[in-house]
Structure 1
Amino acid sequence: MKKQTYLRLVLLLFLMLPLAACGDEGAEEVTGETAPEDMDTIEIGYNNWAENIAASNMWKILLEEKGYDVELTNMEKVAVFAGVAEGDLDMAMEVWVPFTDQHHIDEYGNDFQVQDEWYEDTELGLVVPEYMEDVNSLEDLNDYKEETGGEIFGIDPGASLMELTEEAIEHYNIDYELQASSEQAMMTELDEAYQNEEPIVVTLWSPHWAFADYDLKYLEDPDTIYGEADDIVFVTREGFEDEYNEVTKMMNKWKFDDQSLGELMSYINEAGDPKEGAQQWIDENRELVDEWVN
């Protein structure tokens, strides 16, 4: 009798196992949580602006520490907006609102999600070295065309800063040619001129590590062609926030000020490698990044 009772108990437990498994599956479905290693690769698009490179590489490292696969794709800024809007990219780190990138928001904003700001009170415009003491306004430039060669060294074509500079040239009747290139090429021109104390005019923006390495000044823009101070936000494709809720929560806690962002960009510039520089900065600022990711 005892033996039969024992066998019945074993059989009952065996039959209950599938039900327990079904119960676990149901619980997993309710929570909607998926382990990072089971999720698709997060695609981040970025353009060649120093702070964009810095932020993108920093978040690649931080998200990979949490178990996510992350891929960075370098492209022109307009292509980044289009990529997020079309769902080919998951996110873009750097969008200036409400002025500089507003036309991109107007064109693509219905197809991506604007997230929280991570940097406040930007600035952009035409910049010259401090040693050009008599050049303080955009309206002064024509008087120094011969000294500067009548050239403004810019960044990649299609960037909002380049479009605004074209507007400024027309508005103030500046008799200069705007030379499109890349941030790296522009900074090379600036460095060579600066080392020889030669006149030069470049397009620049804040935040940027150049203001820590060189004595520079923005030229006054009396009619505010370059707009007022912006905030920098990141954007995500439609549906990303639902699929990657934990990632979105972490990144919406992310804040930079001039000191923290300037230090990160400086580490990358000195290292000569974005991943190496970003990793060094993370290691030395672990308490700060833990506030974002934990």
Structure 2
Amino acid sequence: MLTRRSTLLGAAGLALATMVAGGPAAALEDVTIAYVEWSDAVVATNIIKTVLEQEGYNVKTVPLSAAAMWQAVASGEADAMVAAWLPATHQAYFEKLKDQVVDLGPNVTGAKIGWAVPTYVEDVNSMEDLKNKAAEFKGQVIGIDPGAGLMKASEKAIQEYDLPLKLIEGSDATMVAALKDAYNRKEPIIVTTWTPHWMHSSFDLKYLEDPKGVFGSEETVNTVVRKGLKEDDPKLYAILDNFALSLDQEQAVMLENEQPGANPAETAKKWVEANKSTVESWVP
């Protein structure tokens, strides 16, 4: 017959064995995810937020600049981000903070950055073509938020190709607004752009060839978490590690978010509901 003492010892032994085997640890209740307000990051962040909330977490999402996003995860103010563009776009942030964060690898592959023009601009196909065509574009390249990796690469491109162009700072929204206005008028325009982005589904655009490789080759969008997260909550860590979307999946949700009255949180919930098997593969 088991005594109370032997029962308690058995339970304690089982708990210890579970912990040693990598089983459940004390789970976090509150999770903070940092992100940049780019169309793709909004989609990915809202989708992972929805999934984590379904698993019982209280999730706070915090919009920041790219530099502040990396710093928030490195300092532990945020638990994770799913918007780290590597190896080129966020290279400077990664090199500075790589010892203070954990890179879980890609959640999206096939990403790309560069400059694009509408396809009706037939006489410009390469960055090199712009040297003698700047006047057609009012001497401007329409950019996004200052400090973004894409903007730093754009500044470098202007120097490398010796282009008489000025890079205009703004945001994802102001860049798209300028593109839409020019497109409707069939006017030439150069925009900083990236894939995945919904505008490639809404406008006929072409990336300009980059023979000097200033914008790098194919990139990935990675999930990066703070140090110690795996020990604090193995399940949360596993979900974030397993999280992955295809370019088509992400761009489809981005396009939905651009419809009148769309709410990114609601479109994310709709996607999660419609893709249960995918979501289940992320949750251990």
| Structure-2-length-normalised TM-score | 0.91
Check 1:239–1:170 CA distance in 2 against 1; reply closer, same or farther (3 A cut).
same
2:268 matched to which residue of 1? 278
Whose helix fraction is larger, Structure 1's or Structure 2's?
A: 1
Structure 1 position 285, deviation (Å) = 1.7
In 1, the alpha carbon distance for the partners of 2:251 and 2:155 equals: 28
Residue aligned with 1:252, SS: helix
The verdict on how the C-alpha distance between 1:267 and 1:30 changes in structure 2, with shifts beyond 3 A counting, is farther
- The residue identity in structure 2 corresponding to 1:207 is P
Instruction: Choose the corresponding residue for 2:210, options 193, 216, 221.
Output: 221
Please tell me the root mean square deviation across aligned C-alpha atoms, in Å: 2.0
Q: Are the equivalent residues in 1 in contact too, given 2:67–2:147 (CA < 8 A)?
A: yes
- In 2, Cα distance between equivalents of 1:22 and 1:187: 64
1:184 partnered with 2:178? no
Aligned runs of 1:1-294 on 2, under 5 Å? 20=7, 24=11, 27-28=14-15, 30-32=17-19, 33-34=24-25, 36=27, 39-270=28-259, 272-294=262-284
How much identity, in percent, do the aligned residues show?
31
Instruction: Please give the alpha-carbon distance, in whole angstroms, between the structure 2 residues aligned to 1:253 and 1:247.
Output: 10
Once residues 151 and 22 of structure 1 are traced to their aligned partners in structure 2, the CA distance between those partners, rounded to angstroms, is 73
Contact 1:267 1:281 in 2 (8 A): no
Mean Cα deviation higher: 95-104 or 273-282: 95-104
Deviations 1:150-209 (A, max 9, x none): 111111111100000000001111111101111011111111111111111110001111
Q: Which amino acid aligns with 1:273?
A: N
Q: d(CA) in 2 for partners of 1:258 and 1:112?
A: 25
Conserved 8 A contact 2:131-2:161: no
1:231 maps to amino acid: T
**C-alpha contact 1:268 1:278 (8 A) present in aligned 2:** no
Change (3 A) 1:268 1:17: farther
What code does the residue aligned with 1:272 have?
Answer: A
Deviates more, 1:124-133 or 1:225-234: 225-234
The separation in 1 between residues aligned to 2:236 and 2:258, in whole angstroms, is 27
**8 Å contact 1:267–1:280 — kept in the other structure?**
no
Distance in 2 (CA, whole Å) between partners of 1:222 and 1:186 is: 25
Give a deviation string over 1:218-258, Cα, whole Å, max 9, x none. Answer: 11111101111112211100001221211222232232222
Q: Distance in 1 between matches of 2:265 and 2:16?
A: 37
- With normalisation by structure 1, the TM-score equals 0.88
2-side partners of 1:254 and 1:162: how far apart? 28
Report the Cα offset of residue 136 of structure 1.
0.7
Alpha-carbon offset, residue 92 of structure 1: 1.1
C-alpha contact 1:267 1:278 (8 A) present in aligned 2: no
The whole-number CA distance in structure 2 between the counterparts of 1:269 and 1:182 is 15
- CA gap 1:192/1:18 in 2 versus in 1, 3 angstroms: farther
Shift of 1:69: 1.2
Q: How far apart, in 1, do the equivalents of 2:84 and 2:15 lie?
A: 36
CA 1:286–1:267: 2 relative to 1, 3 Å: farther
- Indicate the SS of the match to 1:122: strand
